[in-house]
């Protein structure tokens, strides 16, 4: 589900005044053009990763930097499997980045069964190839938040 999906309510959230330094570090990473392209947040169950991811996604959205988000939920029919992950991410990116939408549509038109392919092929075709076919511009790369892998 999206970070602000009706399926996410009540949203996991950090208690007021907590995790501020950590969230500040995440926002610095998100705005640093020289930062590594992937940031992996890991920790034990119940450590607050989902709450942090939710707050981070909300902050990125407010700043216009969130390209997409997906929050898995164990045992949930739609959010408990990989099945809709790539479609959801690609859809959100196409909505938020007009330059992404046309190459994505062309890739989907050339293979109408793409959603039935393996997740690795969906990733290659719907995300990697789409970004490769986009015109080169100077806009910052979108932030994609995944939670609950």
The CA distance from 1 to 74, in Å, is 12
* Domain count of the fold of the chain: 1
- Look at residue 60 and tell me if it is in a domain: yes
The predicted structure's pLDDT at residue 23 = 87
What pLDDT, on the 0 to 100 scale, is given for residue 1?
46
- Mean pLDDT across the chain: 83
Q: Quick one: pLDDT at residue 28?
A: 93
Q: Is 41 domain-assigned? A: yes
Task: Tell me if 106 sits within 8 A of 90, measured CB to CB.
Answer: no
Domain carrying residue 86: 6-147
Q: Residue 37 has what pLDDT?
A: 86
Residue stretches of the chain with pLDDT short of 70: 1-19, 74-82, 138-139, 149
Q: What is the DSSP string of 63-112?
A: TT-EEEEEE--TT-TTTSSSTTHHHHHHHHHHHH-HHHHHHHHHHHHH-T
The pLDDT of residue 126 is: 94
pLDDT value of position 57:
93
* Residue 116 included in any domain: yes
How far apart are the C-alpha atoms of 3 and 51, rounded to whole Å? 11
Query: How far, in Å, CA of 82 to CA of 118, rounded?
Result: 10
1 belongs to a structural domain: no
């Amino acid at each position: 589900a999206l970070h602000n999906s009706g399926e996410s309510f009540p949203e996991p959230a950090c208690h007021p005044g907590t995790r501020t330094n950590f969230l500040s570090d995440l926002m610095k990473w998100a705005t640093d053009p020289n930062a590594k392209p992937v940031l992996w947040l890991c920790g034990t169950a119940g450590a607050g990763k989902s709450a942090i991811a939710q707050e981070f996604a909300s902050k990125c959205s407010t700043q216009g930097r969130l390209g997409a988000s997906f929050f898995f939920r164990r045992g949930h029919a739609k959010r408990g499997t990989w099945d809709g992950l790539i479609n959801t991410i690609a859809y959100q990116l196409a909505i938020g980045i007009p330059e992404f939408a046309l190459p994505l549509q062309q890739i989907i038109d050339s293979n109408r069964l793409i959603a039935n392919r393996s997740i690795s092929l969906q990733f290659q075709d719907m995300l990697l190839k789409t970004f490769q076919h986009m015109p080169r511009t100077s806009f910052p790369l979108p932030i994609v938040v995944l939670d609950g892998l």
